[in-house]
């Protein structure tokens, strides 16, 4: 009973404490930039929801929140450059400072297309903060302005990240057991 989702984790990559400490640092950096800008802070659903909730609560800047749900077409575990908007922003971002909160940047295809799309709405600025970055896998020319952790090329779960919609509620970032994939 106690084990449940934890039993499927091979190794913990980032502990809850490590994540919280790094988020605090990142929030302080962001406050310096955004304190007088009333930014629109955008949560990219669903993967970013846990990071977003912790990040915004560590920031003291006045801000507005918005949510966007997107899915990138692509076979299996890789995304393509085609983006489908499941749920768009409700805020008009023209002239606004926008901060996109992402869980992980892998190939970069998703954010590359998203950034282009949002830039067409003429925001005053458009920056990206990501919890995780896997630079080895990058295909699209995109770099986040703020990164909490650069990680090696492993498929990770937890703290919002899923495998087949599961494990998002793990409090840490971990590596899934192979046996789970091979089941």
> Which residues of the shown chain bind ligand IMP in the complex (CB under 6 A)?
47, 72, 79, 103-110, 155-156, 161
Could you say which DSSP state residue 43 is in? E
Per the annotation, the verdict on 31 as an active-site residue is: no
State the distance between the two ends of the chain, measured CA to CA, in whole angstroms.
21
Nearer to ligand IMP, 80 or 91 (CB): 80
61 binds, among Mg ion, ligand IMP, none (CB under 5 to 8 A by kind): none
Q: How far is the CB of 146 from ligand IMP (least distance, A)?
A: 16
Q: How far is the CB of 107 from ligand IMP (least distance, A)?
A: 3
**In the chain, which ranges are E strands?**
9-14, 40-45, 64-72, 83-87, 97-105, 125-133, 146-150, 156-157, 173-176
Q: Quick one: CA torsion of 158, 41, 59, 48, rounded to 10 degrees?
A: 0
Q: Which residues bind Mg ion (CB under 5 A)?
A: 47
Nearer to ligand IMP, 27 or 173 (CB): 173
83 binds, among Mg ion, ligand IMP, none (CB under 5 to 8 A by kind): none
Q: How far is the CB of 172 from ligand IMP (least distance, A)?
A: 13
Catalytic residue among 97, 103, 106, 133: 106
Burial 172-183 (b: 16+ CB within 10 A, else e): bbbbbeeebeee
Q: Are 171 and 154 in contact (CB under 8 A)?
A: no
Nearer to ligand IMP, 61 or 107 (CB): 107
Supply the residues annotated as catalytic.
106
């Amino acid at each position: 009973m106690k084990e449940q989702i934890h039993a499927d984790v091979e190794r913990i990559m980032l502990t809850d404490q490590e994540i919280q400490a790094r988020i605090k640092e990142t929030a302080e950096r962001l406050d310096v930039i955004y304190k007088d800008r009333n930014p629109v802070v955008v949560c990219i659903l669903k993967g970013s929801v846990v990071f977003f909730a912790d990040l915004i609560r560590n920031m003291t800047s006045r801000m507005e929140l918005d949510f966007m749900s997107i899915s990138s077409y692509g076979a299996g575990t890789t995304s393509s450059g085609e983006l489908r908007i499941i749920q768009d922003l409700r805020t008009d971002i023209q002239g606004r400072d926008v901060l996109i909160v992402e869980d992980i940047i892998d190939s970069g295809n998703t954010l590359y297309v998203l950034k282009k799309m949002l830039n067409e709405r003429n925001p005053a600025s458009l920056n990206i903060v990501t919890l995780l970055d896997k630079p080895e896998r990058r295909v699209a020319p995109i770099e986040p302005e703020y990164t909490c952790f650069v990680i090696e090329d492993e498929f990770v779960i937890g703290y919002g990240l899923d495998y087949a919609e599961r494990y998002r509620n793990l409090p840490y970032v971990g590596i899934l057991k192979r046996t789970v994939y091979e089941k």
